[in-house]
């Protein structure tokens, strides 16, 4: 993990034994306010946890926004928020920006999400897609691809044997570069193919890992509801979005099974996402600022630590499933509790 706070094995074991977080720990009479921003995927989880915490602590208030992971880290590293929600781990350059801004991010994994490739329920032609097909639709070499016939031609050129493509104009609604979902999708589904194409001498692929450029074919939005509307409202629509959003809109979009390279078409569900048999899955995080739990710091916020305590309790973690995502395993939760306990102990919180 590329964060400023990590534990060795011995410290981890000690912290697990001394952590005070338990399955039903919910602080009472907490006052103050917490400001959270970042991933629109993590936003529903943080919001649900905040609502439950506020129910027990009516003098504790909150603001939860979802402008996207990258935008959230910009705010966080500028000292504008207490917690940054993220659908990817923090990048080295973002850690450097935070350090320059006097912010110390603590990386805490809080759930797992699949990235669902979605089509309109009116589009029943596509039965399964592989990563080559996804590259033909979304990749950097697809800027001239405007119809499903173009997709089929490029996919075939790239070596795909997928058949049964739709016909007509191509319409994509999906995240843009301000979204952690966008970055995760590239890293998991597109980047290896792009790198191989670049190494083979393809100039169009010899750029930083990315998707095709947004425009009239590819409408980019950090708002998952906009993506659902765009894909679900067009018979030729396709896109990708967090698994939970796709499940909650199953009457409007359908999830396409994905072949990760072994010839097996696997659709996302709670089990396949949790056991990593679904090829496009990623971890979800929250990043509290350690300085804001330090009583000696000018940025100290007494309202922050009790909220994170609850987030990492068994009770708080149950809300991950209620929000439609996959909980982390008990041993992974114990590790996150230990990381958090050690970060608090270091500053006397």
**Residue 282 — very low, low, confident or very high, per pLDDT cuts 50/70/90?**
confident
What's the confidence (pLDDT) of residue 7?
A: 33
pLDDT on residue 176: 93
Q: Parallel, antiparallel, or unpaired for β 171-174 and 218-220? A: parallel
Q: How many whole angstroms separate alpha carbon 45 and alpha carbon 51?
A: 10
H or E element, residue 229:
helix 224-232
pLDDT average, residue stretch 301-306:
98
Closest CA to 173 of 124, 214, 129: 214
Percent of the chain with pLDDT strictly greater than 90? 79
What percentage of the chain has pLDDT greater than the value 70?
93
Do residues 226 and 154 share a domain?
Answer: yes
pLDDT over 90 at 10, yes or no: no
Round to whole Å and give the CA distance between 109 and 103: 19
Q: Is the pLDDT of residue 272 over 80?
A: yes
The answer on 156 and 249 residing in a single domain is yes
CATH at 49 = 3.40.190.10
How far apart CA 349 and CA 104 sit, in angstroms, is 15
**Residue carrying the six token digits 């509801």:** 225
Average pLDDT over residues 283-295: 97
Residues 6+ apart with CB under 8 A from 73: 38, 84, 86, 90, 91, 94, 97, 98, 287
Q: How many domains does the chain have?
A: 2
User: What is the rounded CA–CA span in Å between residue 280 and residue 334?
Assistant: 25
| Domain boundary, last residue among 281, 313, 334 | 281
Examine residue 4 and state whether it is found in any structural domain, yes or no.
Answer: no
Residue 3 falls within a domain, yes or no? no
φ, ψ (nearest 5 deg) of residue 161: -110, 10
pLDDT-based confidence at residue 184 (cuts at 50, 70, 90)? confident
Residue 322 within any structural domain of the chain: yes
Co-location of 148 and 254 in the same domain: yes
pLDDT digits (tens, 9 = 90+) for 56-82: 999 999 999 999 899 999 999 999 999
Question: How far apart, in whole angstroms, are the C-alpha atoms of residue 190 and residue 168?
Answer: 24
Assess whether pLDDT exceeds 50 at residue 14: no
Instruction: Please check whether residues 142 and 98 belong to one and the same domain.
Output: no
Question: Token pair for residue 135?
Answer: 């590259």
Listed residue (69, 284, 282) closest to 187, CA to CA: 282
Greater pLDDT, 191 or 12:
191
305 shares a domain with 253: no
348: left (phi over 0), alpha (psi -120 to 50) or beta: left
Which pLDDT band, with edges at 50, 70 and 90, does 25 fall under?
low
Q: How far is CA 195 from each of CA 47, 156, 281, rounded to the nearest angstrom?
A: 38, 18, 21
* Residue 141 pLDDT greater than 50, yes or no: yes
Confidence at residue 109, expressed as pLDDT on a 0 to 100 scale: 97
**Judgement on whether residues 152 and 188 belong to the same structural domain of the protein:** yes
pLDDT of residue 40: 86
How, if at all, do strands 32-38 and 129-130 pair? unpaired
Specify the pLDDT at position 274. Answer: 85
Over residues 327-348, the pLDDT tens digits come to 998 999 999 999 999 999 999 9
pLDDT at 268 over 60: yes
pLDDT higher than 60, residue 16? no
Average pLDDT of the chain is: 90
> Are residues 129 and 255 located together in one domain of the fold?
yes
Q: Do the strands 281-288 and 83-86 form a parallel or antiparallel pair, or are they unpaired?
A: antiparallel
Written as six digits, the tokens of 10 are 């011995």
Helix (H, G, I), strand (E, B) or coil at 339: helix
- Same domain for 160 and 25: no
Name the residue with tokens 């990048």: 91
| Domain of residue 58, residue span | 9-106+289-347
Within a domain: residue 160?
yes
Q: What is the pLDDT, as a whole number, of residue 299?
A: 96
pLDDT at res. 3: 36
Mean pLDDT of 130-154: 97
Contact 267, 281 (CB under 8 A): no
Q: By the 8 A CB rule, do 222 and 69 touch?
A: no
pLDDT in tens, 188-212: 999 999 999 999 999 999 999 999 9
* Judgement on whether residues 118 and 234 belong to the same structural domain of the protein: yes
* pLDDT exceeds cutoff 60 at 220: yes
Element (H, E) at 258: strand 258-259
Same domain for 276 and 169, yes or no, is yes
Question: Higher-confidence residue: 278 or 13?
Answer: 278
């Amino acid at each position: 993990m590329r964060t400023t706070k990590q534990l060795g094995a011995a410290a981890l074991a000690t912290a697990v034994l001394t952590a005070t977080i338990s399955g039903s720990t919910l602080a009472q009479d907490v006052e103050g306010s917490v400001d959270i921003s970042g991933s629109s995927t993590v936003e529903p989880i943080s919001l649900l946890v905040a609502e439950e915490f506020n129910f027990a602590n009516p003098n504790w208030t909150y603001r939860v926004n979802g402008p996207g992971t990258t935008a959230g880290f910009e705010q966080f590293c500028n000292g504008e928020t207490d917690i940054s929600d993220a659908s990817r781990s923090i990048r080295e350059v973002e850690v450097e920006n935070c350090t320059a801004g006097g912010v110390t991010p603590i990386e805490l994994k809080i759930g797992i999400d699949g990235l669902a490739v979605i089509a309109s329920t009116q589009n029943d032609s596509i039965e399964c897609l592989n990563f080559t097909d996804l590259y033909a639709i979304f990749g950097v070499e697809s800027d001239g691809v405007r119809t499903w016939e173009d997709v089929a031609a490029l996919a075939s050129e790239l070596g795909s044997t997928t058949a049964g493509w739709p016909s007509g104009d191509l319409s994509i609604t999906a995240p843009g570069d301000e979204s952690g979902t966008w970055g995760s999708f590239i890293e998991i589904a597109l980047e290896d193919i792009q790198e191989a194409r670049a190494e083979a001498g393809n100039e169009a692929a010899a750029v930083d890992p990315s998707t095709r450029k947004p425009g009239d074919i590819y409408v980019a939005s950090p708002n998952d509801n906009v993506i659902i509307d765009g894909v679900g409202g067009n018979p030729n629509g396709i896109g990708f979005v967090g698994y939970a959003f796709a499940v909650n809109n199953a009457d409007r979009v359908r999830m396409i099974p994905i072949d990760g390279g072994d010839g097996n078409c696997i659709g996302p569900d709670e089990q396949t996402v949790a056991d990593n048999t679904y090829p496009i899955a990623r971890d979800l995080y929250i990043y509290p600022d350690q300085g804001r739990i330090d009583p000696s710091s000018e940025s100290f916020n007494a309202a922050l630590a009790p909220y994170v305590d609850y987030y990492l309790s068994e009770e708080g973690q149950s809300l991950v499933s209620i929000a439609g995502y996959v909980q982390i395993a008990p041993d992974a939760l114990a590790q996150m509790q230990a990381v958090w306990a050690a970060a608090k102990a270091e500053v006397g919180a």
